[in-house]
Amino acid sequence: IRQETLAHLDQYLSAFRANLEEQGVRVYMAREAEEACRIAVDIARRSGASHVVKSKSMVSEEIGLNLAFERAGIQPVETDLGEFIVQLRGEHPGHIITPAIHLLREQVAETFAEALGMPYSTDVAAMNAAAHAALRPRFLDATVGVSGVNFGVAESGTLCLVTNEGNGRMVTTLPRVHIALMGIERLVPTLGDLAVMLQLLPRSATGQKLTSYISLMHGPSGANGPNERHLILVDNGRSALRRSELQEALLCIRCGACLNACPVFREIGGHAYGSTYPGPIGSLVSPGLFGFERYGHLSKASTLCGACREVCPVEIDFPTLLLRARHQYTREVTQPVLSRLGMRLFAWAATSPSRFKWLQRVAFLATRLLPRRAGWIRAAPFPLAAWTASRDFPPFAARTFRRRPLQAWTSAPASKDAGPPPTKDLKTPEPSPPPADLLARFAQELRSVDGQFLEAPSESAPEALLAWMHENRVHRLLMDPQVETQFPEISWALQQAGIELVRPHLDAGMDQAARKAALEAYDQVEAGLTLAAAGLADTGTIVQPGHANLASLLPRRHFA
């Protein structure tokens, strides 16, 4: 699917753009990062935005959109929890999926105490509540929302956003204006192809069958969403990369699996790469998009072990591409004198066992005088000073591996006749098969992700709903008007029981103050009731029509 898309990218882009414009989406093509930033800032200025709320977007990181907004006097507010944390700390994401994975819980607690005035606590629920309290008003008051796009569907002009936090839906629904950023390579030809990608991405990224939220967006919806939707298609070097020997890197679906498997990334972390895109995929797309002069050296940040290739859901051949990148780097970029001398010294030592042993001994003796921390070298002179400025350096061993006796590693001398040691049966128990009945399977999957499933005959559905509402102390209900149309008996029963029904609606002609007031009023309602278009048995997913966004989004409880 991905190879077919790249092979005919111009054709699919043309169809995608035409379908979007037919739906009322305003589409822009940005050749460079500066152009993409200028377009986004101009839209925000025309909308009168003082701040913008942002869902997670690696493309916005790539083009430096936050800085562009700040220079224009517009405050960017990251609403993904991990992105929000690193923004408060003035840092960049440390991972393309989990931006704050490099931080300890205590560090996050300190950040929230300093930036949000929260009493210091490492309790996760308390920290989540503090972030919720800080971000909720920004959603309700925002004129402009900015998001990325995980996939675009050429045949239907669909924008697909995949998230595990409700912020993605908030950003694309509540503000009057939605700006979406998308790399031109993130297309798939058909909705059937999208279904395949949605099976690959969550499993490879977070181990989920499906993410908590999947939004399929088309034109602006007005009464249940933004009045304007803008899509900025970002090239920023992708067309050139598509014509290069590294074009296979554009198959990437940004799942982050290669980062998690890479021994180098796991040792040094994402910030050490100095690029928006770290890890094995970053070692390819960074020089491919931004130039070998700046990022060609990242191709060397790999052991070529192939772990990244093994876990990649789209089967990118990382080792081969990294070797190509290394060759191109040494061919196009003059290597530093010190680097060339260092490699010559290593080659001189490594080609002679006696010289290698001598160099090991010299290194051990020379580093004994350097300051230590918990046995590690804390500060080293040039040329290792840059390393120890950010990380401790492992000390050289007094006794090398080759000099250690066999007894230090085994409890008894090895025997050629000895068979393999006895092992226990390590067979993993088979999981319980899913129920054959689709409804039972749906209920099982929904409950596994902390959802509730109530089963009742049609004639007693109003009573079951009322019982649930009384149990959860719900007195006001944000109701999708379609429920009243299709199930008038439910609406009648709720009103007879004294439940106040609130029917959400956003007039396209509302000014920002009126829109904010309406959203704040809806936000105080305890629960929302909507139709469910379908349920997916294998994932416990509720498929919801787009007209019910507000009723399912704002209340703390959602009943479908």
Domain ranges of the chain: 2-87+143-236, 255-332, 350-405, 438-559
DSSP 461-524: HHHHHHHHHHHTT--EEEE-HHHHHH-HHHHHHHHHTTPEEE-----TT--HHHHHHHHHHHHT
Q: Please tell me the distance from the alpha carbon of residue 443 to that of residue 451, in angstroms, as a whole number.
A: 9
Q: Please tell me the distance from the alpha carbon of residue 255 to that of residue 364, in angstroms, as a whole number.
A: 41
Q: What values do phi and psi take at 232, rounded to 5?
A: -105, 110
Written as one letter, the residue type at 39 is I
Residues sharing a CB contact under 8 Å with residue 429, sequence separation 6 or more, in sequence order: none
Edge-first strand listing for the sheet containing 500-502: 500-502, 476-479, 527-529, 557-559
Q: How many CA atoms lie within 13 A of 538 on its CB side?
A: 4
Label the pairing between strands 228-234 and 376-377: unpaired
Provide CATH code, domain 2-87+143-236: 3.40.50.10420
In the chain (560 residues long), the average pLDDT of successive 10-residue segments reads 95 97 97 98 97 96 98 97 96 95 96 96 95 95 97 97 93 96 98 96 94 93 85 98 97 97 95 96 97 95 96 97 96 85 88 89 80 77 75 79 67 52 54 75 91 86 87 91 87 90 86 90 93 91 83 90
Contact 500, 508 (CB under 8 A): no
Which pLDDT belongs to residue 456? 84
Q: Please tell me the distance from the alpha carbon of residue 374 to that of residue 356, in angstroms, as a whole number.
A: 28
Q: Please tell me the distance from the alpha carbon of residue 259 to that of residue 307, in angstroms, as a whole number.
A: 10
Written as one letter, the residue type at 57 is S
Which pLDDT belongs to residue 339? 80
Which pLDDT belongs to residue 46? 96
Which pLDDT belongs to residue 413? 54
Which pLDDT belongs to residue 548? 67
Which pLDDT belongs to residue 406? 66
